[in-house]
Amino acid sequence: MSELLIQGPNKLQGEIHIHGAKNSTLPLMAASLLCGGQCILHNCPILSDVDTSLKILRYLGCRVERSGSDVAIDPTSANEYEIPDLLMREMRSSIIFLGAIVSSMGRAELSFPGGCELGPRPIDLHLLALRKMGVVIEEDHGCLKCSAPNGIQGACINLSFPSVGATENIIIAASRAKGTTVITNAAREPEIWDLADFLNSCGAKIQGAGESTVVIEGVKSLTGCEHSVIPDRIAAATYLTAAAITGSTLTVASVIPEHIAPVIPVFEECGCQIDVLDHNIKITAPKRLGRIKSVRTMPYPGFPTDAQAPVMAMTTLADGTSIFVENIFESRYKHVGELMRLGATIKVEGRVAIVEGVSRLSGAPVEAADLRGGAALVVAGLAAQGTTLISGLKHLDRGYESIEKSLALLGADIKRI
C-alpha cells in the first residue's frame, strides 16, 4: 500500500499547469455513448475515476484508446446495457451513465454507486427526473432496472435542489429525447457548460447551460466531435491553498479564472495577493495568514464544497479564528480529526466547524478518508514541522494527477513510498 511521505515545512515556487477537470471528464465520457461516431477528448486527466469510466465504456462494448491526455471513444460497437456491481462501487459518479445507457440502449441495469462516503447523496433527483421523461425504473435489492418502452420523452423538470449530477443526467438523456425538455433550478457549475458545449458540438440543441433554466430540444442523432476538457478548478484551488499555507509565491497556469472566482475572496481576506493574467493566477502569500471570518459552501457560483477541506487546512495556521459552514454534504468534516493529529485546533458542531489558528503544526501519521480530505492533509503536511505520513491514497488518486510529482517540482519534499 502506497503512502505519501512529506518532510516540512518547505516553500513552493514556480508554475504549475492544471490538468483537466475530473468532474467534467466523467459526464463527457458518459455522453459519448449517444454519439454516432468517434469522440476525441483532449486534456483528460490521468485519474483512477477516469480509468473506471474507461473500464465501464469498454464493458459496454465501446472501443476506447488512450494516448497521454487524449482519449478516443468509438461508441458505435456498444451493445451492453448493464454495468457490473464492481465497477459501480468504484466511484460515486458512475450514476452519470444511467441516462446515457437508457437513451442509447433503451434499457439499463446498474447497482447503486459507491465512492467517497460524504453522507446522504440521494440519487432520487436523478430517478424522479428520468421517470418524468418516460423511463420505467424498478428498484430491486440495491439494483436499478430501467427501461424506456416508448423512448425517452421531453418533459418539464423542476429540481428541488440544483444537483450537478441530476442536471447532467437529464441533459444527456434529453439530448436525443422526443420533444423538448426544460430544467428549472438547474445546476450552474462550469462542468454543466462544458457538457452542453460538447453535446452541441455533436449536434445537440441545448440552450441556457450555466444558467438556472436549461432548454434541450431533442434531436434524432448525434455525431462525434473533438473537445478539450476544461481545467480542474478544484485542483487549482488546492494548489493555491498549498502556496498560501507555506507563505509561498506560485503561479497556477492553464486555468479559467472565472471558474475560480468564488474562492479568490477567501485568499484575499487572509492576506494573499492575487494577480490574474489571461489563464494564469499568481498568488503571493504573507509570512502568516490572517483569519477568514466565514466560509459557507453553496452551489455555484457560491463557494464550492470541494474546496472546503483544503481551505480549512490552510486556516489551521492562520492568525485568529475561522468559521466554516458546510451546506452541501453532512459528513464532509472527516478530515478534521486527522488535521487535529497534526496539531490543529478545530471544533465541529453539526454543519459548523470553528478553526482556531495555531502557531505551528507537527508531522504525524494520518489517513485520508475521502478525496478532498486527503488533499487537506497534503496541504497541512507541507507546512507541518517534521515528517507527515499520509495513507489512503486511493482517494487522492481519484482527483489529483500525481500530486506528489507536481508538488516536488515546486520545491516540496514529498514522495510516494
Domain interval for residue 282: 4-18+231-416
Same-domain pairing of 104 and 43: yes
Same-domain pairing of 216 and 344: no
How many C-beta atoms surround the C-beta of residue 63 within 10 A?
14
Who's near 357: CB < 8 A, 6+ residues apart? Answer: 289, 291, 315, 316, 317, 318, 319, 320, 321, 322, 345
Q: Please give the mean pLDDT across all residues of the chain.
A: 95
- Sheet of strand 156-158, all strands in order from the earlier edge strand to the far edge: 156-158, 180-184, 213-217, 205-207
For residue 364, the domain's CATH number is 3.65.10.10
Same-domain pairing of 251 and 400: yes
Confidence of residue 122 (pLDDT cuts 50, 70, 90): low
Q: Which residue bears the cell 437513451?
A: 103
Domain count, the chain: 2
Same-domain pairing of 221 and 237: no
| Amino acid symbol at 263 | V
Same-domain pairing of 14 and 28: no
- Please tell me the predicted confidence (pLDDT) of residue 365: 98
With 80 as the cut, is the pLDDT of residue 121 above it?
no
Same-domain pairing of 139 and 193: yes
- Please tell me the predicted confidence (pLDDT) of residue 331: 76
Condensed to tens digits (0 to 9), the pLDDT of residues 351-367 reads: 999 999 999 999 999 99
Residues across the chain? 417
User: For residues 108 and 81, is the Cβ–Cβ distance under 8 A?
Assistant: yes
Q: What percent of the chain lies above the pLDDT cut of 90? A: 91
- Please tell me the predicted confidence (pLDDT) of residue 285: 98
CA–CA separation, 294 and 322 (whole Å): 6
Condensed to tens digits (0 to 9), the pLDDT of residues 191-214 reads: 999 999 999 999 999 999 999 999
Active site residues: 116
Who's near 122: CB < 8 A, 6+ residues apart? Answer: none
Helices (H), 60-163: 85-90, 97-105, 124-132
Cis peptide leading into residue 310 (ω within 30°): no
Among candidate residues 169, 203, 228, the one where a domain is terminated: 228
